[in-house]
Amino acid sequence: MASLTKLSLLVAMLVSLIAITVGAKGPEYFRRCKEKVGKECGTMIMNEMFFHNATTTGVCCHKLMTMGKKCHVRLMMKLLTMSPFKDKKGLVLERSKKILKKCSAMEKSGVGKEQEDTEEVFRDGDIKLTCAYASTVMKS
């Protein structure tokens, strides 16, 4: 039941990300940011930031670094203004910084650049948990 609630919140956040088209930077800016990271990696990154129950892979770190810190921060700030997590803004932003730091280190070492992203998170409109997601346990 708890995972269903988390799943519902995640779906709501993804819908919110899609609805980000109204903002200071404009819809095209946010669309380009989201395209660079993709849905699967976006979901993984959000799970690590908001629920602290996933670990962003090397492939997703590479995509996040390709998207860039500015895009990431602006998307997260916009999302935090609309989400049920705005009361935990400080915690989420701290986790975001840790992810960016980790991904920057992975990018410098070349992790994720050559790997193919074979994990499917979305199939038939439903969110499917990958082995990496399901087996990852992180402290809250």
Task: Provide the residue ranges of all domains of the chain, joining segments of one domain with +.
Answer: 2-135
pLDDT-wise least confident of 17-21, 31-35, 101-105: 17-21
pLDDT, residue 121, reads 40
CA dist., res. 113 & res. 78, Å (int): 28
Please give the residue that has the higher pLDDT: either 62 or 135: 62
What's the N-to-C CA distance of the chain in angstroms? 18
Look up residue 56 and give its DSSP letter.
-
Which residues are registered as beta bridge partners of 126? 123
Q: What is the mean pLDDT of the chain?
A: 73
CA distances in angstroms from 51 to 43, 55, 62, 72, listed in the order given:
11, 11, 21, 17
CA dist., res. 83 & res. 81, Å (int): 6
Mean pLDDT on 7-14: 56
Residue 114 phi, psi (nearest 5)? -100, -10
Identify the band that residue 2 occupies on the pLDDT scale cut at 50, 70 and 90: low
Residues in the chain: 140
User: Which tens digits make up the pLDDT trace of 57-92?
Assistant: 999 999 999 999 999 999 888 888 877 878 888 999
By three-state DSSP, how is residue 117 classified? coil
